[in-house]
Chains A and B, each alone.
Chain A
């Protein structure tokens, strides 16, 4: 079966040749032969170079998993391209995916043996699963005589991990309760952080003896230190709704963009510090990852964030939400706090005595999505009332020991973590 068919150019050249030569014979006008001669040659050479191959197109991308803003290359391989001279590929536009050359169109002369260099650079501009659109590939024979295709080639799916928003924190977590880590514990133990000087007890290491104090007091004294422990951090992601319009990594950020990028930044920060990080997504899938540490766990966290499905699950209620947060776990809720269930669940976590921090992820100047034909004045007024209501809500949460801070990158959590740590060191009276 031949996959090659004549091009319009060959049909045109042949038709012009046939008519002109026919008229030349009929009218006896040699000028017609002069005018038709180039077309005759084009036709003959086009037909002579008719390919007999059966090309097969294969495509792939160099990396199927990458971060927002990174780039990869979509490549083509043509098997059995004998006789093909030129290749044209066209990739349909995909939302939040930048293509180079612009428009995803590329034409190239084939090298010896059908070697193709018609690669298209692909760069996803937003986290999530990005299914590249189908593309069409066409081959043309020498002298433009015959063409093969265009054939459809399925697009690949990219997993786009959220980019790590710039984040750093020098504050320690309030109640480290792990084994070995970087945070100063509330308990004394082997560590480097000075706690105090106390009388020598059996079992104390000799190198801990403070000779100056011992000589002055005429009894042995040792330097006491705080042990250093790791901590568990649970990141709660509110994916119940998206507020604002996302312009990808180069444009404006929606509330979900801020949430996901902040969650990725926090996860990376705490995992690199040696803490155990867990994830709970409030969305359609309700994905949950238990606390874990290490690079592999960080990859799983980012992968889960990339695959989250925003939306409200059918049976959503604050009572049914399970966070699996153990004692001492620091809970960071990333949310615009515009859903009652999230607010109730946050208050519930704070009520359990867990250190809870709310990070406000509603971008400045976000306007609400309103139903068509809604009076914009009424919509603006309603939105302002909603924001005022939200401010009141934040104040109430703060009063029950749940501070709220807007996401602003590095240092976002420092102040609240310091305050929570100071509060954790105060003597507490618990009513049973």
Chain B
């Protein structure tokens, strides 16, 4: 049974399926070849994510390449890691766009343009961080690095608390419906 999506939605789903695989395959120049089973599992999860872009499968689909990049390549800080970062963000943005409304909602070009600008904006720190990490690699460990890392982790923890800790008592019935 083929979903009745609009061409724009089909494009988004294809991006969701292909970009995680692309993020992993980008590690080949860095000296790591992904196993077939790993790719198969990733593909199945990516298809699931493409079918249900608001599902939690997306977390696994994005985390699998991230973990793989930390574990598999001989040189994790290979320049291709930036390509992987772009691919993962493209997957996330495609899922965001796909989950704005029903599956058959036509893709709004203005919204796509907005998110492309946003994606380019959030990609700005990637080369900066990569360059910083590349420079610092091999040097003697500095306590400041760990302090900064802890600070970032703290921010992430605060964010997590903010997002997941609060459950607004939303009663949709209380929404004023006039008509």
Interface positions of A (Cβ within 8 A of B) = 1-25, 27, 29-45, 47, 56-60, 86, 88, 90, 101, 103, 105-109, 138, 140, 143-144, 149, 151-156
Interface residues of B in 152-178 (CB under 8 A from A): 152-153, 155-157, 159-160, 162-164, 167-172, 174-178
A16 touching B66 in the complex, CB below 8 Å, given contacts A107-B100, A107-B101: yes
Minimum CB–CB distance from B16 to chain A (whole Å) comes to 12
List, in ascending order, chain B residues with CB within 8 A of A143's CB: 118
Some 22 contacts from A to B, beta carbons below 8 A apart, are A7-B54, A9-B92, A9-B95, A14-B156, A14-B164, A15-B160, A17-B159, A29-B70, A35-B84, A38-B92, A38-B123, A40-B156, A41-B122, A41-B125, A43-B163, A47-B163, A56-B175, A58-B178, A86-B111, A88-B100, A105-B104, A156-B179
A13 x B92 contact (CB < 8 A): yes
List, in ascending order, chain B residues with CB within 8 A of A42's CB: 92, 122
List, in ascending order, chain A residues with CB within 8 A of B160's CB: 14-15, 18
B101 x A38 contact (CB < 8 A): no
List 5 tightest A-B contacts by C-beta distance, closest first: A30-B133, A88-B101, A31-B76, A8-B54, A41-B122
Determine which residue in B88, B159, B162 has the highest number of CB atoms from chain A within 10 A of its CB, and name it: B159
Cβ contact of A59, chosen from B66, B123, B126, B179, cutoff 8 A? B179
Interface positions of B (Cβ within 8 A of A) = 53-56, 58-59, 62-63, 65-67, 69-70, 76-77, 81-82, 84-85, 88-89, 92, 95-96, 99-102, 104-106, 108, 110-111, 114, 118-119, 121-123, 125-126, 129-130, 133, 136-137, 146, 149-150, 152-153, 155-157, 159-160, 162-164, 167-172, 174-179
> What is the number of contacts between chain A and chain B, taking CB atoms within 8 Å?
212
List, in ascending order, chain B residues with CB within 8 A of A37's CB: 85, 122, 125-126, 129
List, in ascending order, chain B residues with CB within 8 A of A19's CB: 63, 66
A88 touching B105 in the complex, CB below 8 Å, given contacts A18-B156, A35-B81: yes
A35 touching B99 in the complex, CB below 8 Å, given contacts A3-B170, A8-B54, A8-B55: no
A6 touching B163 in the complex, CB below 8 Å, given contacts A12-B92, A34-B85, A149-B175: yes
